[in-house]
Structure 1
Amino acid sequence: MNKALVAYFSASGVTAKVAAKLSEAIGADIFEIKPKVPYSSADLNWQNSESRSSIESKDPGSRPAIAEKVDNMDQYDLVFVGFPVWWYREPSIIDTFMESYDFSGKKVVPFATSGMSPIGDSGKNMQALASGASVAAGKRFPSNVSAGELKEWAVKNSQ
């Protein structure tokens, strides 16, 4: 497998657990995509149309700032990008991440966590933000996915 990075955004900790399991299973570096302004539980209330996450999801131009950058993104050929599914797509902070680096010549593989919502068009959305990259369609995983299943999926998608 190429030099790999698992980058992830996790609002509640579920995606963080899956990302850590994936990173360990494939021997990849790991990076947490942290918002410059952390999300509060009120910000994440999807039932409130005025919550921060609801407002960001409705605005295709929303780009929440990221607190830190990946050191030397150039060293990675393969980047797994993990996130929770918000309104059937990737959260806006993932769009910020995709626009923050030159992914030319890299393979980007999205993965998402959700109880039931599909990953939707996240791969297509991310491809539009990463010209020159090869962005896979991605896959949604439940919180209890096994390390073996993650490794098998990652190896298949690293080709």
Structure 2
Amino acid sequence: MDISAARPIDRFFASYSGDHRNELNQRIHVVAVPAILWSVVALLWCIPVGGTLLRSGIWAALAMFGAWMFYNRLSRRMGLGMLAVFFFCGCLCRLLEMRIGLDNLLWLAIGVFVVAWIAQFIGHKFEGRKPSFLTDLVYLLIGPAWVLAKLYRRMGWRY
């Protein structure tokens, strides 16, 4: 396939895959990228919303909506998958907020964020390549879609 003629999502995935060829690094990413995504949603979930009836979640909802628009423009099918991922992240944040409280959710999110990023950099040490986002920050958004695309391919679904 001529990569210059490919859809933008295919070009992003081809470039991202080029920085993630090592099998161990790929396995680390399959776990760490969703963990980072959830932790970012959870961190945003914990930002107070003063002067409203809403106690939490609005900043996370706005960020998830913005990211979803990016994914949906790249591919409607990927947009639907990421919508499901975001719904799960939001539900998990709400459940944890109710069970352990907002303060503990914040600390959990910080811990997951730090551990997952350490894992990512260990994976890239094995890879021998720098993370893609160091060349273009858009790859911070491509990582979750790349992991989801692996699931799509395993299930025989197109994106």
Indicate the TM-score class for this superposition, using the shorter chain for normalisation.
under 0.3
Question: Whose relative contact order is higher, 1 or 2, with alpha carbons under 8 Å and at least 6 apart?
Answer: 2
Q: Which has the higher helix share?
A: 2
TM-score by length of 2: 0.28
Larger Cα-atom Rg:
2
